[in-house]
Amino acid sequence: MKQLFVRLFIICMSATLLVLTLIAYLEQEVYLEQAKSYYLEQSQIVRNSIKRELDNGLSSETEVLAWWSSQLGVRITIAEPSISHSKIAQYSITDSGEYVQVEVPFTQQNHLIFSYAQEASAGYLVMIYASYLLIFILVALLVFLISRVSYRYLEGMSQAIERIVGGDYGKQIPRSRHKPLNKLLSLTNQLAEQLMLQKQQQIILNGAIGHELRSPLMRLRLALDMGRKGDYGEPDIYLREMDEGLSELEELTTELIWIARAQYNPTPQELQSLDLSQLVIECSQRYSQVNLTAEPDIYISAQPLLIERAIYNLLDNAEKFAVERIEVHLFRDQTRIKLVVEDDGSGLPESSLNKVFIPFYQIDKSRNKPHQGAGLGLAIAKLAIELNGGNISVTNGHLGGARFEMSWPRA
């Protein structure tokens, strides 16, 4: 904190002194012009009065000059002319006073020299120096308060970041009353929340992988044991069980590899101009139950393979649960491009609407056993869409089944 205070104090004092210097310079320039005019005018008036008194002949030149000097508190002398007109011969302003020398024509052979000297009073000097001291103290106090507040929050942020680096994402940094710090604190808290969410998802994913791998491995183990013991009359029975188990493992492995590549690919593909209308038509042609309505010439900036995978996964999911009808709609509204996939199945429980995108989540494993997958299709679709700047949401639609809506911003 000491170093922060010293640096801020030097910066603030430098800025303050610069501003004060500039103000003093401008004030002096303005005042200087006014003062010169004043002293010239006053000297010329006094010169005229001295001339009139000398023309009357009532007093000598020495007496008249002495009297005016005593009245004005100005030293008046006669000298040979250096110029033919009135001028300020010398002018200086310091903290201790103001000194001016004015030369004005008097006769053809002589000029009058007025020497003004206005010394500053002790009280004035005390006030000037006290003002400088007060400014110094106020700047130091202000810098101390700013340094103290900033240091406290920066120290808190440093500790929070250290906790984040150490894997503790739970504790939030309290908001500051100072808006410039709030944005930084908010971003740090958001980072911690995202890391905590990713950590939780990773824990769930790791646990689910172990659970999902256990099922096909147990099927393989059981088929091998029974085949070895000769419990099956026909070898094809346990060979078929082994084949199904291997198929599950292959599907699970393929989708896990796909997720890992999509999430952690250090060199993601560049976005391309994708004809979404044509892609949706091509994908829908593989499904006999699909009723498609698509506006033509709808383009988005995306990675074609990811969007294609997302569409196929959503159509596969709809086909599993549809009774006889799947509706696909592609259209534009004022701000978004939207793709809707809806089936006429039994729909989703309200408690499952915000869980269907979790890897390996399945609502009811028993009701769709012949078509049951690894539970990664919707998670992959969500990931693919979000990696391409889109959003996906799910509700229960008017057909009775699940309604998935994907959207992208219009160009």
Give DSSP secondary structure letters for 132-150: HHHHHHHHHHHHHHHHHHH
Q: What are the residue ranges of CATH 3.30.565.10 in the chain? A: 268-409
* Interval 23-38 mean pLDDT: 68
Q: pTM of the entire structure? A: 0.49
Q: What is the pLDDT of residue 366?
A: 44
Q: How confident is the model at residue 367 (pLDDT cuts 50, 70, 90)?
A: very low
Q: Which class is 268-409 in CATH?
A: alpha beta
Q: What is the pLDDT of residue 204?
A: 59
> Could you read off the pLDDT of 169-186 as tens digits, one per residue?
666 666 666 666 677 777
Residue 315 · residue 342 · CB < 8 Å: no
User: Could you give the CA distance from residue 295 to residue 109 in angstroms, rounded to a whole number?
Assistant: 105
> Could you read off the pLDDT of 335-360 as tens digits, one per residue?
999 999 999 998 888 888 888 887 77
Residue 90 · residue 99 · CB < 8 Å: yes
Highest mean pLDDT among 156-165, 198-207, 232-241: 156-165
Contacts of 204-207 with C-beta under 8 Å, sequence gap 24+, read 204/358, 204/359, 204/360, 205/359, 205/360
Contacts of 47-53 with C-beta under 8 Å, sequence gap 24+, read 47/104, 47/105, 47/106, 47/112, 50/76, 50/106, 50/112, 51/106
End-to-end Cα separation, the chain, in angstroms: 49
Cα angle 21, 15, 127; round to 5 = 50
Q: How confident is the model at residue 28 (pLDDT cuts 50, 70, 90)?
A: low
DSSP string, 67-99: HHHHHHT-EEEEE--SSSS-EEEEEEEETTEEE
> Could you read off the pLDDT of 245-287 as tens digits, one per residue?
777 777 777 766 766 666 666 455 567 899 999 999 999 999 9
* Residue type for position 212: E
Highest mean pLDDT among 212-226, 229-243, 308-322: 308-322
Q: What is the pLDDT of residue 89?
A: 63
Phi, psi dihedrals of residue 14, rounded to the nearest 5°: -60, -45
Tokens of 359: 């890897």
User: Could you give the CA distance from residue 244 to residue 322 in angstroms, rounded to a whole number?
Assistant: 24
User: Could you give the CA distance from residue 196 to residue 208 in angstroms, rounded to a whole number?
Assistant: 18
Q: What is the pLDDT of residue 358?
A: 79
Residue 39 · residue 116 · CB < 8 Å: yes
Single out the residue of 90, 92, 62 nearest to residue 77, CA to CA: 62
| pLDDT, mean over the chain | 77
